[in-house]
Structure 1
Amino acid sequence: MASTYDPADINILVVDDEEDVAEIVSHFLKQEGFTVHKAHDGEEALSKANPDIDLIVLDIMLPGLDGYEVCRRLRSRVETETIPIIFLSAKTEEEDQVRGLMAGGDAYLTKPVSPQVIVAHVKAVLRRAGIEESRTLQVQNLTIYEDEYRASLEGKDLGLTLTEFELLRYLVRHPRKAFTRQQLLETIWKDAMMVTERTVDAHIKNLREKLGDFARHIQTVRGVGYRFVEEDSAQE
């Protein structure tokens, strides 16, 4: 049976001698909530690869030990032999890909590749390893049960409508990002007819009433729309 995880509890080691590449990949993984560590050569990768690392994104052309050798050594250690490894390399020949997989890689991506594709492969490899992303969001005393389409505050069910639930979940999943009413309409209501921007205001009002004091986390951004903030801060 697959186990579930909070992305923040997943430690990913990104190994690439090109610092800008490592930074870009790390940035997108962090946006998904993962905890990211970086290394820029083979020896550093081996030193940072420990049982707390859940997955490694590994370049091949590294100074000193190359990615193939790093992978082989990791697979030879009892404490790291099962860590999933995704090769990310500019080496595009079929024989290079075969060599990477034969060395013990779980996937092989060739540069250039979009960060979104890397993130998708990270999640897919974690699933194959029997780890599923948690379908529960937790912010202080608010819990959102994504599979059940419900939310509770201090253990008490909020009794949200489907639209209120979708609206709350979307805002919580994108903390501090301000959304216009039109953006929320297009995302939550999609192709619904006869829906105006005032509909968003009405649902936000109802949602705030059900959230009580917790409603302070849903802020109105003047001239724009709404955003969700996790910390207890004054209305801006």
Structure 2
Amino acid sequence: MKNTRNLILIVEDDEKLRQTLEDFLTANHFAVLTAVDGEQALTLYYANNHLIDLILLDGMLPGMDGFEVLKTIRQYSDVPIIMLTARESEEDQLTGLTNGADNYITKPFRLRVLKAHMDVLLKRNNRAAAGEIEAGKLRLEQASQRAFADEVPLNLTPKEFALLLYFVQNRDLVLTREVILDAVWGFDYQGDIRTVDTLVKQLRKKLPDSCPYIQSIYGVGYRFEVTDHE
């Protein structure tokens, strides 16, 4: 179940600033994940994207920079993203905003001002999260945890709904069993990884033949894929 505290992913390679942000947000009752570079940020995002409410993303990162991370995430999600960067030129700001950043804040900045921007985005996103999500012939109501196929209700357990929602939110991505287990059951779950296969089997039985969207990827895991014409 989603934690009532908003979960923030901080992507910042400067240790002092990263710790300052983490301490400030924790003191203001946020839950926090931290990453030091682009690759780690994407790993955390893929494993927790259905939980993450907002991302604070440094533009200048070692390896894959923040702008590349931004473009990658925007292929799959509208999660609010605030760019935090020392790159203050108009060209850089336009690059960030045109690639999907919700806000662009240059360093140095005041923590209270940052929080004010976050609060606005979280309020907007929380309203959207109470809505619906569609994929092919499926429609999911996140607030009520109800799912429909061709507008016919599906009798799903809470865990089956959580798995289906995770698949829909990560459509076209190859998801390993380990990633699915962590995302749907939680990091502290001690059960066998074959639990994923069992739940997928149960879910497939409840989906009609018109929704063959859950594809098995041999030796890896699963991919949720809807054909273009649907």
Alignment of 1:20-35 (within 5 A): 22=67, 24-33=69-78
Within the alignment, does 1:222 sit opposite 2:215 as a pair? no
Tell me, in whole angstroms, the C-alpha distance in 1 between the residues paired with 2:176 and 2:204.
18
Identity %: 26
Within the alignment, does 1:62 sit opposite 2:89 as a pair? yes
Please give the per-residue CA displacement for 1:87-126, whole angstroms capped at 9, x wherever unaligned.
4214x2x6xx69xx9xxxxx559xxxxxxxxxxx876423
Within the alignment, does 1:89 sit opposite 2:106 as a pair? yes
Q: In structure 2, the residue corresponding to 1:216 is in which secondary structure? A: coil
Tell me, in whole angstroms, the C-alpha distance in 2 between the residues paired with 1:154 and 1:63.
47
Q: Which of 204, 210, 228 does residue 206 from structure 2 map onto?
A: 210
Tell me, in whole angstroms, the C-alpha distance in 2 between the residues paired with 1:201 and 1:129.
36
RMSD of the alignment, in Å?
A: 4.2
Partner amino acid, structure 1, of 2:105: L
Tell me, in whole angstroms, the C-alpha distance in 2 between the residues paired with 1:203 and 1:145.
20
Runs of at least 5 residues in structure 2 that lack an aligned partner in the other structure: 1-58, 60-64, 94-101
Q: In structure 2, the residue corresponding to 1:176 is in which secondary structure? A: coil
Please give the per-residue CA displacement for 1:136-169, whole angstroms capped at 9, x wherever unaligned.
2111221111111221111111000111111111
Please give the per-residue CA displacement for 1:21-47, whole angstroms capped at 9, x wherever unaligned.
65554443454237x9xxxxxxxxxxx
Count of paired positions: 157
Q: 1:213 to 1:127 in 2, by over 3 A?
A: same
Within the alignment, does 1:126 sit opposite 2:143 as a pair? no
Partner amino acid, structure 2, of 1:210: K
Structure of larger gyration radius:
1
Tell me, in whole angstroms, the C-alpha distance in 2 between the residues paired with 1:224 and 1:130.
33
- Which residue pairs with 2:179 in the alignment? 183
Tell me, in whole angstroms, the C-alpha distance in 2 between the residues paired with 1:202 and 1:168.
14
Q: In structure 1, the residue corresponding to 2:163 is in which secondary structure? A: helix
Greater Cα shift, 209-218 or 154-163: 209-218
Alignment of 1:1-236 (within 5 A): 22=67, 24-33=69-78, 61-62=88-89, 86-90=103-107, 92=108, 107-108=113-114, 124-128=119-123, 132-135=127-130, 136-190=132-186, 191-193=188-190, 195-231=191-227
Q: 1:197 to 1:21 in 2, by over 3 A?
A: closer
- Which residue pairs with 2:55 in the alignment? none
Regions of 4+ moved over 4 Å: 20-24, 55-60, 127-131
Contact 1:175 1:228 in 2 (8 A): yes
Q: 1:142 to 1:60 in 2, by over 3 A?
A: same
Q: In structure 1, the residue corresponding to 2:209 is in which secondary structure? A: helix
Q: 1:124 to 1:205 in 2, by over 3 A?
A: same
TM-score (norm 1): 0.51
Contact 1:217 1:232 in 2 (8 A): no
Contact 2:137 2:211 in 1 (8 A): no
Runs of at least 5 residues in structure 1 that lack an aligned partner in the other structure: 1-15, 37-54, 68-84, 102-106, 110-120
